[in-house]
Each structure stands twice: as structure tokens, then as C-alpha cells.
Amino acid sequence: MRVATWNINGLRARLELVLRWLRDRAPDVVGLQELKLTDEKFPAEAFASAGYQASSHGQKAWNGVAILSRKPLEVLQRGLPGQEERGARLLTAVVDELSFTTVYCPNGKTLDHPDFASKLEWFDALARHFAETRDPQRPEILCGDFNVCPAPLDSFTGDAAAGEIFHTDAERERYAALLQWGLIDVFRDRHPESRDFSWWDYRGGAFHRGQGLRIDMVLGTRAVSERVQSIHVDREYRKKLDGLTPSDHAPVIADLA
């Protein structure tokens, strides 16, 4: 089984790119983030023509998440309970006995912005939701854009970024709480010393200069992690391809036995 996560930074602008990627990479289950459209505008027919059943939890102009699957999916949860005012940011479905959750975690903007405190509250709510509704002994995947660099290795600025947004102790503690519950950061588990990124600013040639962050993750319980054969950042789809403008994020792809 091939699973993937991708913040596409606007599905209207990226639909043809996503369809091309689906043809090229043939994932079985995909979590998409930052759709920036409502469910009524979600192009389910285009994905069906590509061989994917799709479910979305959208929002006009902002946020939004979706799951695409080659096999039938059953939606379990649309939205993070108690966090509805912070937008459409969570979707969970079951595919082939695998519980698959995609999330678009709040950005937080700056440390002195009210959204930063909201970001921490959202992470606390996510941890509670998993503790109350999910089972760490079962095959569970939680993937998406976490807007957190878990360690200095995950940022091009390394230790110099400590204390900045995405790099604070408070954010990292929230991320660590998910791991303590029973999730494993599959990429870091397989590549403990690798300095790979999944997001690069559009400005200043950041992608070509290697100035990125690893903020897009595939987390899995032990039942999932033991099945992982490989995981990588699909850097090719962060490049402009045949006139198709990329997202500022690259997909992350994991192959499971």
C-alpha cells in the first residue's frame, strides 16, 4: 500500500498537477491539505475519473482537507471536535481496516499573535481526540501539515531558529505528545540523520538554495510503522512541471508492505 500526504496550497490552482501526480505515483491513499474551497466546489468527479473515491472537509478560501482512496473509504470524523471555529482542518476515514487521518494544523503566524495560543490549544485538542477515540494498538495513520519543526535537523537554520515560530518548545512539546500517545514519525524513524525538507518559501529561490523546513509528516502506530518499506519527500513535484505551478510543499510518500 502506498500512502501519501500533500499540502497543495489551493486545489483550484493545483488540480491538473495533482491529477498528473496521481498518474505518475499511483498512491493508494492520499491526505490533502489546504484545499481553499468548499465541499460543493470539490472536484470529486475529476478524481473519480482518475480512479479515486474522495471525501472532503472544505472551507471557502481557507484551510480544507481531503482523502483520496483507490478503495472504498468510510468517513469517521469530519472536523476536530471543539475546534470548529478554527476551520476545516481534520478528516478521518477507514480504508481497508486502516484508520487514516489527515490534518492541516494551524500556522500560528507569530509568537505574539492570538493565533499562536490558538495553535497550541488546537494541538491539545488533537491529542485529546486521539486519546479518546483512537487505539494505539491498531493501524492508525495521522498525516498532514503540522506547521512544526520537531527538531533542529528539520530546519535549514538548525539550532539558530530555536524559539521562533515552528521551532518553539511549546510547539515541539505538543508534537511530542502525539508520539508519546503511540505514534511514530515514520520518516525520522527510517532516516534518523537525514536533513530533508518538505516546504520551501516561494521567495528568494529557497527551494534551489535548500532553505526549507520539514513540517509535513506521516505518523503511524507501531502496527503501521512495522510495515513501512520506504518513505521519501517527492521533491520532483515541488518543481514547475510543463508550466504547472507547484505548491510550496512537496508530497511525502510512504510504501507499506
Q: What is the count of structural domains for the chain?
A: 1
Tell me how far CA of residue 255 lies from CA of 22, 35, 68, in angstroms: 15, 24, 16
Provide the CA 211 distance to its chain's centre, in angstroms.
20
Strands laid side by side in the 90-95 sheet: 74-78, 90-95, 98-104, 140-145, 216-220, 184-185
- Joined together, the cell numbers standing for residue 170 give 511549546
Q: What is the pLDDT of residues 69-127, one digit of tens each?
A: 999 999 999 999 999 999 999 999 999 999 999 999 999 999 999 999 999 999 999 99
pTM above 0.95, yes or no: yes
CB 156 within 8 A of CB 196: no
Identify the pLDDT of residue 145: 99
User: pLDDT > 90: what percent of the chain?
Assistant: 100
Domain with residue 55: its CATH number is 3.60.10.10
How crowded is residue 30: how many other Cβ atoms within 10 Å of its Cβ? 27
Q: Which residues are catalytic?
A: 104, 145
Rg (C-alpha) for the chain, rounded Å, is 17
Range of the domain at 83: 2-256
